[in-house]
């Protein structure tokens, strides 16, 4: 249904697919299961080497969405090109291994329409495994609704928005120039830039998506994540909280990797001055010295 027919703003859902043949059908079908009627879906296969293209072509024949196949360009470049081809007032990137819950877009659009100061609306997530089964309750994260400004996000004063639930106001995304292809982990940096431009990030309490935890999640590449996060902080080094934010992150990551990657842990520890070490550093030192890598 179009925006003119429904009287509702159009949402462009963008799926950049890469080697998720086992998961992509659930992602695509979750878009069509939305109770919000005004959606366009664009799917690009970004150079998958598995059976993703065949799966998506079969679904395209059934459902009729916009689909392109290309050589690998990377997520940020692909998303920017999809945004340029899309028409929605709101933009919803969706990982090709994640799943939207049915009320997601109706809740987010209603909120965004009432809050023009909001550049990004997100929500809660439920964790599932590679087979689509819920993880145990103790691994789930239930957090209250919250509003974040730039300092909240940059200085980690409140938990940030879960990536599988991001809904962008197109005008805010275009104001900051879209996604930056030089940053490998795209979501955090664009969130900071939109907040830095003066918009709020609002996170609803309701779970809006299923986040799939499996062996190829990007966050499991510790060195990539850490190097990228530090590079993002560096982009805002004129902020008065820059050094405190950088050192807080180094301490936290040292404690996290101390028993799983001794070489990386040693590099992180060398960047933390003695005066800036804290309880997390001590915990990390114990793991670094006495806990063996599994």
Instruction: Give me the pLDDT at residue 51, please.
Output: 96
Same domain, 139 and 283: no
- 141 and 52 in one domain? yes
68 and 199 together in one domain: yes
Regarding whether 120 and 225 lie in a shared domain, the answer is no
The pLDDT of residue 2 is 61
Residue 216 reports pLDDT greater than 60: no
Q: Of 111-115, 127-131, 254-258, give the range with the top mean pLDDT.
A: 111-115
180, 212, 244 — which closes off a domain? 212
pLDDT digits (tens, 9 = 90+) for 14-68: 999 999 999 999 999 999 999 999 999 999 999 999 999 999 999 999 999 999 9
Is the separation of the CB atoms in 112 and 170 below 8 Å? no
Residues 206 and 229 placed together within one structural domain of the fold: no
Residue 41's pLDDT is: 98
Q: Check: CB of residue 1 under 8 Å from CB of residue 37.
A: yes
Q: 195 and 259: one domain? A: no
Mean pLDDT of 1-9: 73
d(CA 210, CA 112): 21
pLDDT confidence of residue 217? 54
d(CA 27, CA 187): 19
Same-domain status, 132 and 267: no
Please tell me whether residues 155 and 100 are part of one structural domain.
Answer: yes
Which of residues 141 and 194 earns the better pLDDT score? 194
pLDDT in tens, 238-269: 999 999 999 999 999 999 999 889 999 999 99
Average of per-residue pLDDT across 232-240: 96
- pLDDT-derived band at 130, boundaries 50, 70, 90: confident
Residue 136 has what pLDDT?
A: 81
103 and 232 assigned to the same domain: no
> Of 183, 212, 241, which marks where a domain is finished?
212
Predicted local distance difference test score (pLDDT) of residue 292: 66
Residue 3 has pLDDT above 90, yes or no: no
Same structural domain for residues 90 and 198?
Answer: yes
Q: What is the CATH number of the domain that holds 36?
A: 3.90.550.10
Identify the pLDDT of residue 137.
78
Give the total number of structural domains in the chain. 2
Comparing 113-122, 235-244, 282-291, the range with the smallest average pLDDT is 282-291
Of 150, 183, 212, the residue that ends a domain is 212
Residue 193 clears pLDDT 90, i.e. is over it: yes
Query: The domain containing residue 60 runs over which residues?
Result: 3-212
Shared-domain flag, residues 265 and 165: no
* pLDDT value for 104: 98
Is 16 in the same domain as 148?
yes
Is the pLDDT score of 4 beyond 60? no
């Amino acid at each position: 249904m179009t925006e003119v027919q429904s009287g509702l703003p159009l949402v462009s859902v963008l799926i950049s697919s890469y080697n998720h043949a086992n998961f992509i059908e659930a992602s695509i079908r979750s878009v069509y299961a939305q109770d919000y009627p005004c959606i366009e879906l664009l799917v690009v296969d970004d150079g998958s080497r598995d059976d993703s293209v065949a799966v998506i072509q079969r679904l395209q024949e059934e459902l009729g969405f916009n689909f392109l196949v290309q050589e690998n360009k990377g997520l940020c470049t692909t998303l920017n090109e999809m945004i340029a081809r899309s028409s929605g007032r709101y933009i919803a990137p969706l990982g090709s291994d994640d799943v939207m819950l049915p009320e997601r877009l109706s809740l987010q659009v209603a909120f965004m329409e009432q809050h023009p100061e909001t550049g990004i609306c997100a929500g809660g997530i439920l964790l599932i495994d590679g087979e689509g089964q819920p993880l145990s309750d103790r691994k789930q994260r239930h957090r209250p609704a919250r509003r974040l400004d730039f300092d909240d996000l940059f200085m980690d004063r409140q938990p940030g928005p879960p990536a599988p639930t991001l809904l962008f106001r197109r005008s805010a995304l275009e104001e900051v120039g879209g996604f930056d292809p030089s940053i490998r982990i795209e979501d955090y940096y664009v969130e900071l830039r939109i907040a830095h431009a003066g918009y709020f990030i609002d996170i609803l309490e309701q779970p809006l998506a299923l986040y799939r935890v499996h062996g190829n999640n990007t966050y499991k590449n510790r060195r990539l994540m850490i190097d990228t996060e530090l590079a993002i902080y560096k982009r805002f080094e004129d902020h008065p909280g820059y050094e405190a934010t950088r050192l807080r992150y180094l301490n936290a990551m040292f404690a996290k990797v101390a028993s799983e990657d001794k070489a990386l842990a040693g590099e992180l520890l060398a960047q933390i001055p003695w005066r800036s070490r804290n309880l997390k550093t001590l915990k990390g030192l114990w793991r670094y010295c006495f806990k063996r890598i599994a």
